[in-house]
Amino acid sequence: MNVFLKPQFFRDDILANLLLPRTGWRGRSYVVVFPTKYCPVACKHCYFASSMPGRNDEGGSLGAADIERVKQFVFDADTELLQITGGGEPLLQMQSVLELIGQGRARRMLLNTSGLFASSPARAADTIERIFSAFAANPYCGKFIFRLSVDEFHLETVKPAKLLNVVSHFRRNFQRYEAANFTLKLHTLAGDRAVEWLLQPLADEVLRLEPTEVVFHDGTACAIGHAPRMMSQARPDLFNLEETRHALDVFDEVRDPTPGAFIDDNLDLGLCFLIHEDGDVELWNTAPADNVANVRSHDFAAVRHSVLGDVIQLGALDHTAPYIEALVAEVDPLSLRRAKSIGSATFLNRRMFAEARLRLYVSLRVIQDYLADGSLGQAQLEQLQADTRAALRLPGEQLRRLYRESGFDIVEQQLNQPDPSPSELIDLYQRLKLGHFDVAPTAMVERVRGATTLREQVRRDFLAMLG
């Protein structure tokens, strides 16, 4: 049987029945939390820019019960570093942030913020002091970095005076905060001059401004960090070859080859987890679209078991992300270009592995490599379906031929969903027009017209929406 005719069935077989040891990666964890997806700053370069009118939409922010589960996850994960970031602007969820800072069992913490809250010196002081008090009351956390975004894009929306309110408060309390290991870090972009512009009103007070630090005459100082400049976009036009090439070059220059791995303070290998605003939790930049857990239904042990039981994620951990990408390129280099062109490493594998047959192909190829190097033995395949085991015995070229012959592309996948909506079909159609998949938009329309699996109302609504 051609397993690529039922790719998700056989991928699920591998996820459920492949006997993997799950023994490694026992170091402390790095946990990243997105308290909310909402941010009124909406920087042009940011993938996460969102409007505020739907701020109360379900799933847009972690609720009180979710925060309790996140705290338990942080504890169970033996967390070395807890980063509270976005997504959206974390301080829109101030109570959640204070709970995580005050009660999260992590040795170190990092909070990212746009500084939008600092509308006055008093407001800046009140907010920072509340955060400091929460940190000071936490007996488990020994270091806190308050990371303030300062770049040209932020300055288009956040007035420099607000950011200076933050800087001024930290300077006034420099010794008290330094003694407690509570520090300010200005976070900018490579090649960006925003820090220099921000500090112009304080020019007479600056002793020296270096790429990694600003030091003032009164002895106060703060660190400066630089992130790569990436222009994130949810819907890149892959037919624009110049922009696509540039996006790929930038991504490859700055990408982390082992994004899901974390080296803790003991130099042991641990894992890096991302908890989204809707509760989804995954291995950072590594989880395919079909294997994402949720803190509302999965504790840390279950998440770890799921991650290390997925050969795509385990392969990325053991052999680096470029190894997985090379397997993707054997059959679908377009998926790799699409994922990288979005300009956000956070969702790389979700975008890259949108197609079930690609997830199955890479799973099979990783298992074949593990069998070849002795990491897996035949005994660990015994519970797999007979057709899965048969596919694993095929040489790579024959697997690739079956992949192509199956015809189970993204359109077929969408049409075989239980009840696709007209809006979902339109979304796919728009992505086809941007070159995101190897299917012509006109071919999709004809297949929708002839699909026997669609409800007639869905078909009519889709065609009507096309105009």
pLDDT tens, 21-80? 878 899 999 999 999 988 876 665 565 444 444 455 556 899 999 999 999 999 999 999
pTM for this predicted structure? 0.92
Q: Are 25 and 309 in contact (CB under 8 A)?
A: no
* Max CA pair span of the chain: 76
Q: Spell out the domains of the chain, with CATH numbers in brackets.
A: 29-189+191-227 (3.20.20), 409-467 (no CATH)
Mean confidence (pLDDT) of the chain: 92
**What letter represents residue 179's amino acid?**
A
pLDDT tens, 71-119? 999 999 999 999 999 878 999 999 999 999 999 999 999 999 999 999 9
pLDDT value, residue 361: 99
pLDDT value, residue 344: 75
Considering the chain, what percentage of its residues have pLDDT values greater than 70?
95
pLDDT value, residue 49: 45
Helix (H, G, I), strand (E, B) or coil at 29: strand
| Mean pLDDT across 223-233 | 79
Looking at per-residue confidence, does 251 or 300 come out higher? 300
Looking at per-residue confidence, does 24 or 261 come out higher? 261
pLDDT tens, 362-412? 999 999 999 999 999 999 999 999 999 999 999 999 999 999 999 999 999
Q: 16-37: buried (b, 16+ CB within 10 Å) or exposed (e) per residue?
A: eebebeeeebebbbbbbbbbbb
pLDDT value, residue 398: 98
Considering the chain, what percentage of its residues have pLDDT values greater than 90?
79
Which among 84, 187, 57, 95 has a CA at the least distance from the CA of 144? 84
Taking the C-alpha atoms of residue 161 and residue 149, their distance in angstroms, rounded to an integer, is: 13
Which among 319, 347, 289, 415 has a CA at the least distance from the CA of 15? 289
| Mean pLDDT across 247-255 | 81
Burial of 233 (0-12, 13-18, 19+ CB in 10 A): middle
Taking the C-alpha atoms of residue 302 and residue 300, their distance in angstroms, rounded to an integer, is: 5
pLDDT value, residue 42: 62
